[in-house]
């Protein structure tokens, strides 16, 4: 038979008076579990949920993979003796999740309705329904908004000292920010770097007093008050950071191997305003492990965790959320 011709033996489903025809092209929209987001938390939740035999959908967003797709070497994800590139790790996560039977759709969620059951999760073109939802939409580090920041992301510009600190042994580094994160990152980085230049836009730190005292006592940390990062310059990787004095506009050039931007994070939770409880900074509030205040809606990963923020902890929480969902679905 030629391609495109009709097979005469094929039975065409035209339906009947009582039974409407089934449309094989119609998209499946009802699932047991919908996971929103496809970083380490979302994929791990998918693996566990599918292995528990729940019909599971991941709506991954337009750029699946989370923060690790913007990372180069990952040395601290267990199981990879010689480390692994961030994007490769996320491809492995995805393939494993698909092999377990999870449906993954690379589409962006534009709205949700958690007020009625089954819950509704909407993309621009489709409405999906499920009895349980796991929110794994993550958080993004705030950016300085400089051209060089983008050019050298993963090549000297970092947003995570725990992840990237060991790559900067005996180098001089800039840390930008004045909150707990910046001080914590600067203090952690003194284990590796020769000097930390901590750049803050005001003359007072926002960080807690005890962390400030620790940083002031550390001879490796030099403070630059009332200064902003003006430019990040390099050649293949970061070589210089130019600072600007906010008072007299004077510029200072620092020869450094890298810059850690630690000016806060923004959880991706705009979608969930008025649907579930968020804290004052917009993170999802969870009570009792991964449960949100709406029964049947769970959260995992950086979208609620502003303390650890690691791929491995996010993956662990994804597993916890799927186990909590399994128990919840068994109970209902």
Residue 171 φ then ψ, to 5°: -105, 160
Q: Is 1 exposed, middle or buried (0-12, 13-18, 19+ CB in 10 A)?
A: exposed
Residue closest to ligand NAP (Cβ): 179
CA distance 70 to 68: 5
Q: Which is nearer to ligand NAP, 129 or 228 (CB)?
A: 228
Q: Which of 98, 88, 49, 126 is nearest to 325 (CA)?
A: 49
Binding residues for ligand NAP (CB under 6 A) = 142, 144, 176-182, 184, 201-202, 206, 228, 263-265, 306
CA atoms within 13 A on the CB side of 190: 16
What is the H or E stretch that residue 197 is in? strand 195-199
The answer to whether 164 is a known catalytic residue is: yes
Active-site option among 160, 305, 319, 324: 160
Active-site option among 136, 163, 302, 319: 163
* Cβ neighbours, 10 Å, residue 280: 5
Q: Is 99 left (phi over 0), alpha (psi -120 to 50) or beta?
A: alpha
CA distance 65 to 42: 9
Active-site option among 73, 113, 136, 164: 164
- Please report how close the Cβ of residue 172 comes to ligand NAP at its closest, in angstroms: 20
- Please report how close the Cβ of residue 43 comes to ligand NAP at its closest, in angstroms: 25
Sign of the CA dihedral running 38, 43, 49, 53: positive
- Please report how close the Cβ of residue 96 comes to ligand NAP at its closest, in angstroms: 31
Report whether 242 contacts 141 (CB < 8 A): no
The answer to whether 136 is a known catalytic residue is: no
Q: Which is nearer to ligand NAP, 51 or 142 (CB)?
A: 142
Q: Which is nearer to ligand NAP, 94 or 244 (CB)?
A: 244
- Please report how close the Cβ of residue 282 comes to ligand NAP at its closest, in angstroms: 11
- Please report how close the Cβ of residue 140 comes to ligand NAP at its closest, in angstroms: 12
Q: Which residues are catalytic?
A: 160, 163-164
């Amino acid at each position: 038979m030629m391609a495109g011709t009709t097979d005469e033996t094929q039975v065409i489903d035209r339906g009947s008076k009582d039974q409407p025809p089934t449309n094989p092209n119609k998209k499946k929209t009802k699932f047991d579990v919908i996971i929103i987001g496809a970083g380490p938390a979302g994929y791990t939740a998918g693996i566990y949920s599918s292995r528990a035999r729940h019909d599971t959908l991941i709506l991954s967003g337009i750029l699946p993979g989370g923060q690790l797709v913007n990372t180069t070497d990952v040395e601290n994800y267990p199981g990879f003796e010689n480390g692994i590139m961030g994007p490769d790790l996320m491809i492995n996560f995805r393939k494993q999740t698909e092999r377990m039977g999870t449906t993954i759709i690379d589409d962006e969620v534009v709205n949700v309705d958690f007020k009625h059951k089954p819950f509704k999760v909407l993309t621009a073109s489709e409405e999906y329904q499920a009895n349980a939802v796991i929110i794994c939409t993550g958080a993004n580090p705030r950016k300085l908004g400089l051209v060089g920041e983008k050019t050298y992301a993963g090549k000297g510009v970092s947003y995570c000292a725990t992840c990237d600190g060991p790559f900067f042994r005996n180098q001089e580094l800039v840390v930008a920010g004045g909150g707990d994160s910046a001080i914590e990152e600067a203090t952690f980085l003194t284990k590796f770097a020769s000097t930390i230049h901590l750049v803050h836009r005001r003359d007072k730190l926002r960080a807690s007093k005890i962390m400030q005292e620790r940083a002031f006592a550390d001879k490796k940390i030099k403070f630059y008050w009332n200064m902003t990062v003006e430019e990040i310059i390099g050649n293949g990787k970061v070589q210089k950071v130019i600072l600007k004095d906010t008072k007299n506009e004077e510029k200072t050039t620092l020869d450094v191997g890298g810059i850690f931007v630690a000016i806060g994070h923004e959880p991706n939770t705009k979608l969930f305003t008025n649907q579930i409880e968020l804290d004052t900074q917009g993170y999802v509030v969870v009570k009792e492990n991964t449960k949100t205040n709406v029964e049947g809606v769970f959260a995992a990963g950086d979208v609620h965790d502003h303390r650890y923020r690691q791929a491995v902890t996010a993956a662990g929480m994804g597993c916890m959320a799927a186990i909590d969902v399994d128990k919840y679905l068994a109970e209902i």
